Amino acid sequence: MTFGRAVAGALVVALAGCAAASPAPELTAAASAEQLRPEVLAEQPHDTTAFTQGLELADGVLYEGTGREGRSQLRELDPDTGAVRRAVPLPGSLFGEGITVVDDRIWQLTWQDGVALEWDRASLTLLREVPVDGEGWGLCRDGDRLVRSDGTDLLRFHDPATFAETGSVPVTLAGEPVRQLNELECVDGQVWANVWRTDRIVRIDPADGRVTAVVDAAGLLDPAQRAGTDVLNGIAALGGGEYLLTGKLWPTTFRVRFVPRTG
């Protein structure tokens, strides 16, 4: 995969604000959690109109779900350039959230509309709407189940065929709840989650909900780029320990690997 010019460097701590939001959780260092940072390998353009809610690479195709009432979309992107290949709108005023690929289908959450959308992956045609209790934030596939976040400290599990809820687990760091879990990416039996209104990503063991690593991703955008953007939100695993990271209305998508944070 080619991504424009390669860049590298350490990142500094900062927090992203969001209007009308409750206080973000305090993610303090804990002996039980690795402290990581993203090492930037390369970057590519990202559509600054995309209110990114979900990002996933499957079979060489990058999919993005975007939000906002009346402007939400499901998109297929060129993974090398970030260019939009295809985009379809969500019905009516549905507010799109996280996405995940399940074989020949794509599931997409909605925020407070009480439904999940099942799309045909090949044609990007909507197949059905399925009722969901509570809010939809992030979504990923962990083997034979789906994992959903709803803005609380819970990860909720769903059947990938019917979307029926099958259980849940509370997420904790050093015994304290970690709330406002947002976009999710399932990788090798672990769940990576953006924490809303912060530049933090946490790695969660879904077996017991423990946070096993905290990624400080502050400083990916310089102050000039940050103007007019919203929060960090969007994680796509590329394999080989590499990931794509972007955010809502961000001008750039970064290819990174997570390395130990020092100092």
Across the chain, mean pLDDT equals 89
pLDDT at 214 exceeding the cut of 70: yes
Residue-wise pLDDT for 137-194, tens only, equals 999 999 999 999 999 999 999 999 999 999 999 999 999 999 999 999 999 999 999 9
- DSSP states of 133-157: SS----EEEETTEEEEE-SSSEEEE
Structure confidence at residue 221 as a pLDDT band (50, 70, 90): very high
51-84 b/e with 16+ CB inside 10 Å = b?
bbbbbbbeeeebbbbbbbeeebbbbbbebeebee
Distance CA 123, CA 141 (A): 21
Nearest to 137 by CA among 149, 125, 121: 149
**Residue 99 β-bridge partners:** 108
Per-residue pLDDT, 32: 75
Per-residue pLDDT, 53: 97
- Amino acid identity at 181: L
Percent with pLDDT over 90 in the chain: 83
Structure confidence at residue 232 as a pLDDT band (50, 70, 90): very high
**Residue 175 β-bridge partners:** none
Per-residue pLDDT, 101: 98
Structure confidence at residue 28 as a pLDDT band (50, 70, 90): low
CATH superfamily of 34-260: TolB, C-terminal domain (2.120.10.30)
pLDDT at 13 exceeding the cut of 60: no
Distance CA 165, CA 160 (A): 10
At CA 228, angle to CA 137 and CA 186, rounded to 5?
A: 30
Count H helices and E strands in the chain, helices first: 1, 22
Q: Where do the structural domains in the chain lie, given as residue ranges? A: 34-260
* Cβ atoms of residues 242 and 257 within 8 Å: yes
**Least confidently predicted of 15-19, 173-177, 203-207, 236-240:** 15-19
Distance CA 26, CA 170 (A): 16
pLDDT at 1 exceeding the cut of 70: no
Residue-wise pLDDT for 78-105, tens only, equals 998 999 999 999 999 999 999 999 999 9
Per-residue pLDDT, 21: 37
**Least confidently predicted of 17-31, 51-65, 73-87, 100-114:** 17-31
Using left for φ > 0, alpha for ψ between -120 and 50, and beta otherwise, residue 180 falls in: left
Distance CA 201, CA 215 (A): 5
Residue-wise pLDDT for 244-258, tens only, equals 999 999 999 999 999
